C-alpha cells in the first residue's frame, strides 16, 4: 500500500526553465509534507516543507504547493540549475506519529 506516490521516475528540463515535481498521497491523516533532495552516494538532505494549514511555501528558488482536496503536492524550482540535478523525494507525516512515509523519488536532470 503505497501511501505516497511520485508517478514520474524521471524529469529532464533545460537550465533556466521551471522544474515541476509532483507527489500524490492517499492518507488523509497526513498533515505535514516535506521534500528531500539526494545526490549519488550521499544521504538525503531536507529541502522544504509545508504544513496542511498552508497551501504554499517558498524558499528562494523552491516553492511547494499543497492541494489538500486533491491530495497532491508539487515542488517548483525556478530557475532550474544544473546543480539541481538529483533525486527528489516527497515525504509525509501525521501529527500523531513520528514516522515519515516517502515516495519513490523522481530523478531530475537539468541540462545546461
Partner 1 sequence: NAGVTQTPKFRILKIGQSMTLQCAQDMNHNYMYWYRQDPGMGLKLIYYSVGAGITDKGEVPNGYNVSRSTTEDFPLRLELAAPSQTSVYFCASSQDYRETQYFGPGTRLLVL
Which one, 10 or 14, has the nearer CB to partner 1? 10
Which one, 66 or 105, has the nearer CB to partner 1? 105
Minimum separation from the CB atom of position 44 to partner 1 (A)? 5
Q: Which residues pair with 38 in a beta bridge?
A: 87
Minimum separation from the CB atom of position 108 to partner 1 (A)? 15
Which one, 3 or 74, has the nearer CB to partner 1? 3
Pairing of strands 106-111, 10-14: parallel
Question: Could you tell me which of 82, 75, 79, 83 has the C-alpha nearest to residue 33?
Answer: 75
Neighbours of 22 (CB within 10 A): 17
Minimum separation from the CB atom of position 93 to partner 1 (A)? 7
Give the binding site for partner 1 (CB under 8 A).
Answer: 4, 6, 9, 32, 34, 36, 41-46, 49, 89, 91, 93, 95, 97-100, 102-105
Question: Could you tell me which of 110, 90, 101, 82 has the C-alpha nearest to residue 21?
Answer: 90
Minimum separation from the CB atom of position 32 to partner 1 (A)? 6
Amino acid at each position: 500500500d503505497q501511501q505516497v506516490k511520485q508517478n514520474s521516475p524521471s524529469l529532464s528540463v533545460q537550465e533556466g526553465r521551471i522544474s515541476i515535481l509532483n507527489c500524490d498521497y492517499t492518507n488523509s491523516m497526513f498533515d505535514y509534507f516535506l521534500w528531500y533532495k539526494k545526490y549519488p552516494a550521499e544521504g538525503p538532505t531536507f529541502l522544504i516543507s509545508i504544513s496542511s494549514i498552508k497551501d504554499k511555501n517558498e524558499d528562494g528558488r523552491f516553492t511547494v504547493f499543497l492541494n489538500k482536496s486533491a491530495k497532491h503536492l508539487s515542488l517548483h524550482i525556478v530557475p532550474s540549475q544544473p546543480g539541481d540535478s538529483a533525486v527528489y523525494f516527497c515525504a509525509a507525516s501525521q501529527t500523531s506519529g513520528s514516522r515519515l512515509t516517502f515516495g519513490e523519488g523522481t530523478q531530475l536532470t537539468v541540462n545546461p
